[in-house]
A = this chain, B = another copy of it.
Amino acid sequence: MTQRMKAIVSYEGTKFSGFQVQDQYRTIQGEIEKALTKIHKGQQIRIQASGRTDAGVHAKGQVIHFDTELRLGDYNWRKALNTLLPDDIRIVDITEAEEGFHARYNAKRKQYRYFIHNAPEQDVFKRRFVHHVPYNLEFDRMQQAIQVIEGTHDFTAFCSARAEVKGEKIRTIYEATCEKQDDMLVLTFTGNGFLYNMVRILAGTLIDIGNGRKEPEDMAGILASKDRQLASKTAAASGLFLWKVDY
């Protein structure tokens, strides 16, 4: 009988061409499916994730599911997968999923975090996991501007023009905060869904506000405009983490 398994997956995006399988490219889906296919002695297994992440984007708590005829037990599933997976992907947790569970369709809330390292020089230990901004960012201005993001809005202004899906752009952001931890600024966004590049365009715009190229008061106007041209450029993938997915 087929059993659906649910797994929490962590990965460092640096050396991946994103989540989704693409021929000739190293992807997270590709590596996990390769490991699963080995465990299933050549039978191809497909995984479903809560959503894709782009090239270079990290995940602390991505969620996936897959169907299997095997019964290994949670501990052995984790061990078997982590033995076969490369060092930059880890299965943090794996359990049998409840009846009808779907990693994508059942996701209620997602949280993304964006890490900005604001210091004159790059840090050799943090560099892969942050976006480094050498010029001064005023935290108070960013904190003021980010409040506008909370609530239900049409986020067209913060959606890549290259987005494939031409669907509806209304999303609800339950929480949007900016915190300062020494020379690190952490943006946290929790919402019912996110558009293509949304967090990175929000981060880019908040950086421009922190630096004085835009005003905190501009945020509401940019959001209302639904014009991608008014928002700032997409900030680096290295600072972005899919932090967790709630069901």
Q: Which residues of B contact A12 (CB under 8 A)?
A: 124-125
A58 at the interface (CB under 8 A from B): yes
- Size bracket, chain A contacts: 20 to 34
Contact at A121–B78, with CB atoms within 8 Å? yes
**Chain A interface, DSSP helix/strand/loop, else mixed:** mixed
Asked if A219 is at the interface of the complex by the 8 Å CB criterion, the answer is no
Complex interface: chain B residues within 8 A of A122 (CB): 82, 87, 90
- Report which of B82, B87, B121 forms a contact with A90, defined as CB distance below 8 A: B121
CA distance A60 to B92 in the complex (A): 29
Q: Does A129 contact B (CB under 8 A)?
A: yes
Which residues of A68-124 have CB atoms within 8 Å of chain B's CB atoms?
78, 82, 87-92, 121-124
For A123, the chain B residues whose CB sits under 8 A away are: 10, 90
- Which 9 A-B residue pairings sit nearest by Cβ, starting from the closest? A12-B124, A10-B124, A90-B124, A90-B121, A88-B124, A11-B124, A82-B121, A87-B127, A90-B122
Give 16 A-B pairs besides A90-B121, A90-B123 with Cβ atoms closer than 8 angstroms: A10-B124, A10-B125, A11-B124, A12-B124, A12-B125, A58-B124, A58-B125, A78-B121, A82-B121, A82-B122, A87-B122, A87-B127, A88-B124, A90-B122, A91-B121, A125-B129
9 pairs, CB–CB < 8 Å, chain A vs chain B: A10-B123, A10-B125, A60-B125, A82-B122, A87-B122, A90-B121, A90-B123, A90-B124, A92-B121
